[in-house]
Structure 1
Amino acid sequence: MIIPIFSLSGDIAVTVVGQYFFYFMVYSFLGWVLEGTYNLYSNGSFRKEGFLKGPFKPMYGFAPLLLLIARDLTLPLPLFLFLALIIPSAVEFISGWLLKTVFHKQWWDYSGMSYQLQGHVCLRFSLYWWGLSVASVYVIQPLMELLYSGVQPIWKFVLPIVGFYFMADLLWTCWSRYRMEKTPQYQK
């Protein structure tokens, strides 16, 4: 069980933030594996360009964290199941919109699918994310908590390294994508 992030103080808050960061990083990495596996199945290559250069897909980290916070609010099950559909789709839509707005590139495009919104989300994949969200909260998260309890003694030493790596990847990616956008493209 995660200590609710609300009404925390001092060392407990640092511990909980570290715990949530651990979950964020692991879920982001698992999202990278999931997308790579899907790409291998559908296109024959594991490597699929994502926003970050490293092996992380932050959308897959943010959505579970928001769902864990919703779970800890002890909402009625039907409301939670509704949020398990809405939260990942909202994260995907906002991420797609932000990436397209800031970097002028769309990393995924559902515009050819039924019931889609600006190519960023579609009903079919929202239902996939819903199933994955429910599985994440009720099946994967208990395993995550077990994993975290095993690595917790060393996590406080590893966290700054992982945090630095993630921030370096984020800054390097933003800088290189900005630089590519500003570099003139010559036609042959």
Structure 2
Amino acid sequence: MTRLLFLFFTYAFLGWVLETVLVTLKQKKVVNRGFLNGPLCMIYGITAIILTVGLTSLKDNIFFLFVGSCIYATVTELLAGKFLEKYYHGRWWDYSKKKFNFDGYVCLDHSLFWGVLGVIVVKWLNPVLNRFYNANVPILMHTLMWILLAILVLDILGTTSVLLKANDQERYNESNKRIAKFTAGLRAKISSVVERRILRAYPLSPELQEKKGKSRVFAEGCGFYKLFWLFMVGGLIGDLVETVFCRITIGRWMSRSSVVWGPFSIVWGLGFALFTAILYQHRKKSDSFLFIAGTVLGGAFEYLCSVFTEMVFGTI
């Protein structure tokens, strides 16, 4: 844990230095980059930990290490951008004007840059940092890491407090919209009850019959409820598909559940929900686009799940 914290803080600081230097050269003035007040870019630290845990076994295969780094870093950057915009109401970066961008959060040239950094981190920098870590007194490193972690938590809380205060007016307006939406929903439910009563009493009323024929959609869009049920249904379907597949190819029945007792595959369920959340707004694009995106994301997701279960449960 403390070794991973050491790598996290080191790469978060180096990422902050890199971002600050690049933006300072571009804008001709010193700019403190990053979400926090301190000299840390958390996305660099988080990405470095994911690459260290997931791709260290590929350090002797430069090609797959590069490809894996591109994919994992790109997905991390995409999710981080969406998270910051959703909960802190702002875009910390925008690649909308660049070619081959995706939602403005990621783009091809930055993904390739992430791939190069991933190779450098996993193959060359990590061994150097590990030797440095091992050369110091363990209790000293443990104490320092936990102190830095406490400071980081305080920084996150302070930054969050300031951003939420700055967005008070926006949240107030949003609250008013929610009240108006609730009122409209309540009015619609009351109207629906009255309409059903009138339809029973006067079944030939053409206006109400037309309204009754219109479909009503539950949880419209891609919300929590749909993602939850995609997780549940996907986990069940995945387990059944793998069970039948093994029966046909191997000739015997075996349990294909992930880490639970019942017929349920957590990997399949997470895959259903995660890929839907990422690709939902692009559902009208071509089949080839969705196929390629699903192939890349699915392969990276399956590989990371395999590494995780082997590390945590000692199983393959």
Same fold, judged at TM 0.5 (above) = yes
Alignment of 1:1-150 (within 5 A): 17-74=1-58, 77=61, 78-150=63-135
- Deviation by residue 1:108-156 (Cα, 9 ceiling, x = unmatched): 1100000001110000111111111111111211221122123352111
Higher mean C-alpha deviation, range 66-75 or range 175-184: 66-75
Alpha-carbon spacing, 1:171–1:157, altered in 2? closer, same or farther (3 Å): same
Find the aligned partners of 1:92 and 1:53 in 2 and give their Cα distance. Answer: 20
Match of 1:178 among 160, 164, 169: 164
Q: Which secondary structure state, in structure 1, belongs to the residue aligned with residue 122 of structure 2? A: helix
Find the aligned partners of 1:87 and 1:40 in 2 and give their Cα distance. Answer: 28
Give the CA RMSD over aligned residues.
1.8
**Structure 2 stretches of 5 or more lacking a match?**
171-316
For residue 80 of structure 1, report the CA deviation from its aligned partner. Answer: 3.1
Alpha-carbon spacing, 1:75–1:50, altered in 2? closer, same or farther (3 Å): closer
Q: Which residue of 2 aligns with 1:161?
A: 147
What is the percentage of aligned positions where both structures have the same residue? 27
Higher mean C-alpha deviation, range 153-162 or range 66-75: 66-75
Q: Which has the larger radius of gyration?
A: 2
**Structure 1 stretches of 5 or more lacking a match?**
1-16
Alpha-carbon spacing, 1:86–1:152, altered in 2? closer, same or farther (3 Å): farther
Find the aligned partners of 1:131 and 1:69 in 2 and give their Cα distance. Answer: 17
Find the aligned partners of 1:82 and 1:127 in 2 and give their Cα distance. Answer: 9
Deviation beyond 4 Å, 4+ runs, structure 1: 73-76
- Deviation by residue 1:72-117 (Cα, 9 ceiling, x = unmatched): 4458834333211101111111111100111110011100000001
For residue 49 of structure 1, report the CA deviation from its aligned partner. Answer: 4.0
Contact 1:93-1:121 within 8 A present in 2 as well: yes
Letter paired with 2:35: F
Contact 2:58-2:64 within 8 A present in 1 as well: no
Q: Which residue of 2 aligns with 1:11?
A: none
Q: How many residues of Structure 1 are paired with residues of Structure 2 in the alignment?
A: 168
Larger RCO: 1 or 2 (CA < 8 Å, sep 6+): 1
Contact 1:70-1:80 within 8 A present in 2 as well: no
For residue 183 of structure 1, report the CA deviation from its aligned partner. Answer: 4.9
Higher helix share: 2
Letter paired with 1:178: L
